[in-house]
Amino acid sequence: MKKNDLSTLQITKELVKLKSITPNDAGCQSLIIEILKKLNFKFEVICKNGVTNLWAIRGLSPPLFAFAGHTDVVPTGNISEWATDPFTPTEDNGFLYGRGTADMKGSIAAFLVAIIEFIKDNPDHNGSIALIITSDEEGPANDGTKLICEFLEKKNIFLDYCIVGEPTSEKILGDTYKNGRRGSLSGNLTVKGIQGHVAYPHLANNPIHSIAPALLEITNTNWDNGNEYFPKTTFQISNIHAGNGATNIIPGEINIEFNFRFSTESTPELLQKRINSILDKHHLKYNINWLLNGNPFLTKSGKLTKAISESIYEELGIIGNMSTSGGTSDGRFITKISKEIIEFGPCNATIHKVNEHVKISDLDMLKNIYKKTLAKLLI
């Protein structure tokens, strides 16, 4: 890209043009390297199982400030439902349309321009600046940010501050930023019965009937009361399947998929133990396969939360709400190598949807907030 093309809007457009459907980076990180290489950044590209990861760092002195994000996007769905081609960035009525505009290529563009402008204004700033970029956030996330964090830990590199550019704003830019996320624990429960004919129920054991009282107890259980940072832990059933479609057969088993979103007041081990206890109490023959998607993480108020909140107020004139709501994010990996983490980015109303878009004016304001935060921590 030419020097005069290095605006937040133009970089966002260039990134959106690249069809980086997870886990394909599609050249996004090469574009990032091209933009940063004249600023004395050092680069490490880590590739595994079709995933591309980038660690970029400028400087060696503390404190170490990092921006983190992902270049991969979710699939477009039915393109015919889009008003414009999802990979042709289109301006309309003050908005930029395209897959990834909000989640999260707009944030990456804002990172880059904030860094460029900050270094230009403060060539002798304190500390160091880094980026953690992956193409495996929207997918399984096994070979993405997690891999970079393991790489950095082995090199004994730890962050002081990290901003993850997830789209956290809800109604207007700056109204919400996140200082943590709940944990996610999934379970796949199979309850065994005895298959038989519906006309002879005494010769069978219907697992749907057997599990019903236990499910009622589970869904009515108060798992914890949350705390000042997290709401109560929640349990939700996402799928139930039993039988083969015939109306005259009692099924031999039932499969139930469920998920906990849990606070720091609970642990995966405790939740598993409590589920097993309820199922055992109801004398069920069952098996559960567990998957821990991520533990909760939390940054308590510190220099980074103060800097981001002040920057939001200075740029937008609003006081942002600090929250731990929403799904999991790559912050769950970064928390192992960073003292403080904040997630902050554009409005999330259209992420993962048809006609995803971002307000064009928000892009520069987001950049300014990132730049102000850098200045508060590195000058």
Asked, as a colleague might, if the bond just before 231 is cis with ω within 30 of 0, I would say no
Asked, as a colleague might, if the bond just before 104 is cis with ω within 30 of 0, I would say yes
Pairing between β-strand 64-70 and β-strand 128-134 as defined by DSSP bridges: parallel
Tokens coding 217: 């107890």
Is there a binding annotation on residue 138? yes
Q: DSSP states of 53-116 as a string?
A: EEEEEE-SSSSEEEEEEE--B-----GGGSSS-TTS-EEETTEEESTTIIIIIHHHHHHHHHHH
Tokens coding 252: 């031999």
CA distance 222 to 217: 10
Is there a binding annotation on residue 357? no
Pairing between β-strand 286-294 and β-strand 183-192 as defined by DSSP bridges: antiparallel
> What 3-state DSSP class applies to 353?
coil
Tokens coding 328: 């999991």
> What 3-state DSSP class applies to 263?
coil
* Residue that is written with structure tokens 């055992």 in the block: 280
Is there a binding annotation on residue 70? yes
Q: Where are the alpha helices (DSSP H) in the chain?
A: 8-17, 28-36, 106-121, 145-154, 207-219, 268-281, 303-316, 331-334, 360-378
**CB atoms inside a 10 Å sphere around CB 333:** 24
CA distance 203 to 122: 80
**CB atoms inside a 10 Å sphere around CB 161:** 26
Is there a binding annotation on residue 166? yes
> What 3-state DSSP class applies to 203?
helix
CA distance 72 to 134: 7
- The sign of the dihedral angle between the CA atoms of 134, 109, 377, 57 is positive
Is there a binding annotation on residue 103? yes
Length in residues, the chain: 379
Q: Which residues belong to the active site?
A: 72, 137
Tokens coding 130: 């880094």
Distances (CA, A) of 269 to 223, 243, 276, 291, 295: 13, 31, 11, 12, 11
Which residues contribute to the annotated binding site?
A: 70, 103, 138, 166, 352
Binding site residue list for Zn(2+):
70, 103, 138, 166, 352
